[in-house]
Amino acid sequence: MKISSKIVCVALACVLSGCAGAPENRSEMPPEKLYAAAQAYFKKTDYEKAAEYFDEVEKAHPYSEWAARASIMSAYSFYKRNAYDDAVLALDRFIQLHPGNRNTPYAYYLKGLCFYEQMSDAAREQKMTEQAVATFEEMLARHPNAIYAADARAKLAAAYDCMAGQEMAVGRYYLRRCDYMPALNRFQAVVEGYPGTNQVPEAMYRMGVSYAALGMVDMAEKTMKRMAERFPKSEWTQALMKDVKKAK
């Protein structure tokens, strides 16, 4: 059933003008008036109060036509306050209760944003990055044609690059210590696990360097040939060619 915009406007005007007289018990307010009150607080950027009223719509009127809409708006209000944990909990609940709702793709997208906006740089722990990846991947698997899909893919690519960057940072650390096998494993993880990221040319170069340092010049040459095919103009390819030549 379509919600009348006229009802919303009348209720919102009533809330803003104080025409109801003494404050009402929220649980006794009709759903359209509760929703209008929540919208009023949201427009004033009082996101904490807005979330309270949106939550009350769902609690007091769980089977009304306003409940699902209020639920996603509650999550969005938490997000606007940077209350990411509360937003994720609200979004998980929305997804569980309303799997077929038209706003469910957005719920996945917003959940992904909650993690994405908490991502650390490549030198730090990547838990939030991993959760952002998992959420955007699930969203795209379930709703590949959603209007938010293009931005989700772009953010997923950035998250992959961040995770690859952490592998590179660890690999470089081992390489500086001349621990060539663990370094090689990290660089291989980037090439095989994150093949579309910007980290791959450097990872392949450092794989070649590690092979050469281990006396595996034939493997270094194979890596160099793969680089020449994939990244013929890369400075990393030219550098590996020089290093392999020296190692022979």
pLDDT tens-digit map of 107-161:
999 999 999 999 977 556 789 999 999 999 999 999 999 999 999 999 999 999 9
For residue 126, the model assigns a pLDDT of: 83
| pLDDT value at 14 more than 90 | no
Check pLDDT > 60 for residue 85: yes
Percent of the chain topping pLDDT 90: 79
Residue 211 pLDDT more than 70? yes
Distance between CA atoms of residues 36 and 53, nearest Å? 9
Query: pLDDT at position 12, please?
Result: 44
Q: Which two tokens stand for residue 37?
A: 């009150």
Confidence of residue 18 (pLDDT cuts 50, 70, 90): very low
The confidence band for 245, taking pLDDT boundaries of 50, 70 and 90, is confident
Indicate if the pLDDT at residue 231 is higher than 60: yes
Phi-psi region of 82 (alpha: psi -120 to 50; beta: other; left: phi over 0): left
Question: Region 228-241: what's the mean pLDDT?
Answer: 95
pLDDT on residue 112: 98
pLDDT mean over 6-21: 42
How far apart CA 6 and CA 173 sit, in angstroms, is 64
Tell me, what's the pLDDT at 202?
A: 97
Predicted local confidence at residue 114, as pLDDT: 97
Using H for helix, E for strand and C for coil, what is the string for 105-163?
Answer: HHHHHHHHHHHHCCCCCCCCCCHHHHHHHHHHHHHHHHCCCCCCHHHHHHHHHHHHHHH
Q: What is the pLDDT of residue 23?
A: 46
Please tell me the predicted confidence (pLDDT) of residue 24: 59
**In angstroms, rounded to a whole number, what is the distance separating the alpha carbons of residues 238 and 236?**
5
The model carries a pTM of: 0.81
- pLDDT surpassing 90 at residue 104: yes
pLDDT at residue 19 tops 50: no
